Structure 1
Amino acid sequence: AEAGPRAEIEAAAKAFEDFQQMDRRARNYVRNGQRLLASDLVFSDGIDKIDAALAALARGEEEHLGAAEAAAGESRRGELMALAAAATGALLVVFALVPLPAAPAPVSPPAGRAAASPQAGAADRPRRAGSPTQASATPSAEPVRAAHPAAERHAGPPPGPAVDLAGIAALCTDLGRVLDLQALPAVLARAAALLDAPGIVLWVADRDGRELTPVLAHGYPQQVLARMGTIHRDAGNVTAAAFRTGLLQTVASNGESTGAIATPLIGPDGPIGVMAAEVLRSGERQDAIRAATVIVAAQLATLMGPPAARGNAEAAGA
């Protein structure tokens, strides 16, 4: 009976071992300054391995509890059957020896008292401050969030640097004038400075839209760009999610790593790539920074074009 749970526990242990190996790889990436690679590894392989371990533990627990409940239920059924048989025999003896008295007529409670009881019971029950009944009966004069000033203070994004709108406008104007993709690295460096981003990678989809390939980067050595490899559109990271959904995706920063913003490059027929940027000072939570990345990505999408342009873009990055 314990073979099933034991197998699930072994599967969970194997998944945790795989997660530890992945964690060591991610830490090596961070030490080498490859934070985007570490982020993609954690949010793809890391999440998959943790989910597999948790699922195996849940299955093992269900199988163990199911076997225990089945054994306990069988024992309880036997005890109940024995008690029912004994009670039935005792009742037969009582009915045979003692005459049963006539049942008294039921007494109806007063109508007024019966009608008042539900209301009195409802009035006596204490109500929680957040119950639906109280909220619908007595609407608050102030917004609900005013009762939680501490939560409201932490809910909003932290103050960040103001976006240079004039610089963004000038950048988009220059992008519209680009005729040679050799000029893209310099333009990408300007975009990184305006977005407060130490690193930017442009990913372009293949002809079938199944994989994303890094074609141009700023802030990373060329050998790092070559080692990034491709990302499948169904991968569990923000870059793939931005390409699948056509929506901006973010990774929150913490005390040890920067935040990230993945913005889709939208063409006439849908997403054709992604602009992934590391951002400083919690820029991923700043509406102005997110809006600026969407503007820059929209202008870059007109230059990246279909997959046939990838060779030219790679030559520009070289």
Structure 2
Amino acid sequence: MIAIGRTAVPLALLWAAGCAGPASRPSSAGDAFVHPCHIQRADDEPFVDDTQAALQETGCRAALWLDGLFGDDSNVDAARRTHGSVETSVRYSQFEGTGYRTRLRVRFDLPNVKERTSAFFGLEGEDSFIRDRAEAFALRSQFPRIDDREEWLAGLGYALPDSARLQADLRVGASNLRMPTAFIRARLHLNVYADQLNLVYLRLTPFWRTRDGVGATLGLDYNRLLSPKLLLRASQVGTISESTAGMDWLSALILYRNLRDERAIAYQLFARGDTGEPVPVYEYGGRTTYRHPLLPGKLYAEGLLGYSWPRSERDEPRRGSYEVGAGLELPFGQKRP
């Protein structure tokens, strides 16, 4: 897990923040120089506020340093828009066992490179990120498959000119410090149909990485607004690549209910599998995920409860398996308006 606080943040961000950046400004005559990303914090600052400020400040410093490599002009306002989140969760499955997940996401703009260019850095499930399969389960995908290993990722992103119907972006980067892997990932999001109650969109994500070659993920989602507080989503997603014999697929039907005060709950029926495996349907079942703001806008908790029928070998019986999970999310920074 990632330790977070005033003096313990991701080491790579600390290294970037400590490198030479733009000149700091004096706060007043005779005072010590104050870095333009500095966030004033009281000694008795609450732990969560202190942690958010530390992550925001460190991300801002890293953004200024990296953007400064491509030009002399330092855009402090752009650096201060650095944003991201830290998430940690634990999940126990009767079939798969216990899995822990820690995820860090940091994103910032690079004005000296180009207006639509940004950088990203974090600790993510490598397969989920590169193959664009982070849609996995319910509210914010805190609880992915246990076999999706978290790895450090970093790279550059470019947002192509978009419209009301079509959005597209491109990301180039590297992952996995132990066995470095380069990757390229494009993503196209097309709104096929939309009215006041219905939305159908198609998502295509071609990708390439040095470890398993070329692949693509295709997703189709139908969303129906049942009431101001109820949303029904039917989702189908599949991935093929040179390293797999078949298509890794997921089908899901999710009912989202928006509760008061930033609370929400999701009910999901799902099935997933791989057409190239001896058991093409690996698992089917249902789960419920509840999201609750412990500190609105600062700290969120999620809980998961589910029951499914998995099977990995053709000759083994399909037995029921329960799962439980709990997670925390700490967002920081502000996205571009």
Structure showing the higher strand proportion among its residues: 2
- With the length of structure 1 as denominator, give the TM-score of the two structures: 0.23
